[in-house]
Amino acid sequence: MTGSTPQRPHHPPRDLDQPHDLVGIGIGPFNLSLAALAHGVPGGLDTAFYEQSPAFHWHPGLLIEGATLQVPFLADLVTLADPASPWSFLNYLRSRDRLFPFYFAEKFHIQRAEYDAYCRWVSGQLPGLHFGHQVDSVRWNPERALFEVDFTQLDADGEAEALGRAYTRNVALGVGTEPYVPEPLKPLADAPTVPVIHSADYLLHRPQLLTADHVTVIGSGQSGAEIFLDLLRARPAGAEKIHWLTRTEAFAPMEYSKLGLEHFTPDYTRYFHSLPEPTRNELVPRQWQLHKGIDADTIAAIHDELYRRTLHGGWPDAVLTPGVRVRTAGRVATTKVELHLEHLQQSARSRITTDAVVLATGYRERPVDRMLAGLDPYLRHDSAGRAKIDTDYRLVLDPSVTGSVYVQNAEKHTHGVGAPDLGLAAWRSATILNSVTGKEPYPLPRRTAFTSFGLERQEAPRIPAQGQALTPLTQN
């Protein structure tokens, strides 16, 4: 299909000491978005992106059949910044002869597996991506006024094969997040013989979980709901033997009203960044339903499945309990787990024995302290010891550093709940590229929300000079 698939341009061998304009560390959706939009900058940018994994994969353990993205397909890598980009989801469909089937399917929210396939299509053709390269350190070289990025090239088995160094004027950190395991369950999750797994590895362990006599799912976000539903559908009626537990006070729907979604706009991001640090710190935990709730369709599907199992009398053997935390956990014999629970509202305690535990407990920002140790003397921190980040997603560095380090999905404390949202990926990438180039290759809208999140700052009223007569106010 002529013209539908972007062609990888031919580049002559480059001088290894020649600095890049931008080096990206990590190739997840966010840095892949940055790479795709950088490819379209007029005049070109010299970029390189490094990823230690051998190929692109997006949450492979959670590509459950039928599971969809929680954002529309327009939240692809590029469209909300450059709808004409050759790296759009629609162009991917065109290259696969699937544009008309998609049109008639009338799906605004695509399946996760399809999003993963789309990103792999982009990553397989976009120039400047280096998989199997582990970045070890980043330093500022004041003599050359450049960043030095040291990396290890890995072989097919993940073993070190060669060492390398790249020089660059700017760096973009997109190393993503890592699964979070609560402290009481860490010893069991690290034990190879105990079936305590994070939801990130769900599909890898699904056959084992389906044969387990009793399964406990911990966590009430979208992943926990999808895993509970998948297990429920696969287990026999009347013998489901599933517990679903969560610390939150309810299995609550995600805020998905049209005005509520405006919290994921650039307007709200700018407003949030302008707030005082203490206010931002208090605000993020209160907004959990914006990003930690459950899609309403998934909640409805769970209830429908539970209800279907009551049609012939009896109730399904499934226990759904919110407001519960795991105090401690231990092994019983060699194959079972005992969970010691506390109900937060009742102040009551109990325990259950289960054969397998799935931890849908979310993710935390991946530590980069070791990688950025060489930049530590230049970094500026807030009162909580977190990196200061400006409106253009740059780490605030000492003025002697003339290059910039940008972050992607590591700025929730400064930019709000939209940091991990795919819908802001293209806009953030465009913001970064506008900053890198000092121009505006991607003109961005000045207004993106109907909501005005704060009061406009007005000048204080001018106080008349002493002795100046005041005009009396009259009332008719």
Asked if pLDDT for residue 1 goes beyond 70, the answer is no
Q: What is the pLDDT of residue 473?
A: 47
Tell me the chain's radius of gyration from C-alpha atoms: 26
List residues bridging with 149 in a β-sheet. Answer: 138, 166
Mean pLDDT of the chain: 92
pLDDT at 465 exceeding the cut of 60: no
**411 close to 281: Cβ distance less than 8 angstroms:** no
pLDDT confidence tier of residue 386, bands split at 50, 70 and 90: very high
Its pTM stands at: 0.91
* Confidence band, pLDDT 50/70/90 cuts, at residue 193: confident
% of residues, the chain, pLDDT over 70 = 92
Where residue 8 falls among pLDDT bands split at 50, 70, 90?
very low
Q: Mean pLDDT check: name the lowest of 191-195, 300-304, 348-352, 447-451.
A: 191-195
pLDDT in tens, 264-298: 999 999 999 999 999 999 999 999 889 889 999 99
pLDDT band at residue 309 using 50, 70 and 90 as cut-offs: very high
**Helix pair angle (222-234, 202-211), 10° resolution:** 40
Residue 420 has pLDDT above 70, yes or no: yes
> Is 70 exceeded by the pLDDT of residue 476?
no
Partnered with residue 111 across adjacent β-strands are: 68
Pairwise CA distance, residues 272 & 454, whole Å: 10
What pLDDT digit, counting tens, does each position of 17-29 carry? 799 999 999 999 9
The pLDDT, as a whole number, for residue 334 is 79
- Tokens 């399964």 map to which residue? 215
- 3-state class percentages of the chain: helix first, strand second, coil last, to nearest 5: 30, 25, 45
Indicate the SS3 state at residue 349.
strand
Phi, psi (rounded to 5 degrees) for 150: -90, 135
| pLDDT of residue 151 exceeding 70 | yes
CA angle 421, 426, 429 (to 5 degrees): 105
pLDDT for 17: 76
Determine how β-strand 363-365 pairs with β-strand 356-359: unpaired
pLDDT at 160 over 50: yes
More confident residue, 465 or 418: 418
CB-CB contact of 429 with 33 (8 Å): yes
Does pLDDT of 389 surpass 90?
yes
pLDDT for residue 418 is more than 60: yes
How many CA within 13 A on the CB side of residue 219?
A: 23
Q: How large is the average pLDDT for residues 231-246?
A: 95
| Cβ proximity of 388 and 247 under 8 Å | no
Q: What is the pLDDT of residue 216?
A: 98
pLDDT digits (tens, 9 = 90+) for 56-94: 999 999 999 999 999 999 999 999 999 999 999 999 999
**Which amino acid is present at 71?**
V
Range in 74-88, 119-133, 363-377 the model is least confident about: 363-377
Looking at this protein, which amino acid is placed at residue 285?
P
Give the model's pLDDT for residue 461.
55
> Hunting for tokens 């993020």 — which residue is that?
284
Is pLDDT of 313 > 80?
yes
Q: For 376-453, where are the alpha helices, taking DSSP H only?
A: 412-415, 425-437
Tell me the pLDDT band of 228, cut-offs 50, 70 and 90.
very high
For residues 120-136, average pLDDT: 97
Provide the β-strand partners of residue 253.
294
Q: Which amino acid is at 89?
A: F
Per-residue pLDDT, 174: 96
Q: How is 223-274 classified by DSSP, letter by letter?
A: HHHHHHHHHHHHS-TT---EEEE-SSSS-PBP---TTGGGGGSHHHHHHHHH
What is the average per-residue pLDDT within 45-54? 97
373-383 mean pLDDT: 96
The HSE-up count of residue 340 (CA atoms within 13 Å, CB side) is: 8
What six digits make up the tokens of 250? 């309810």
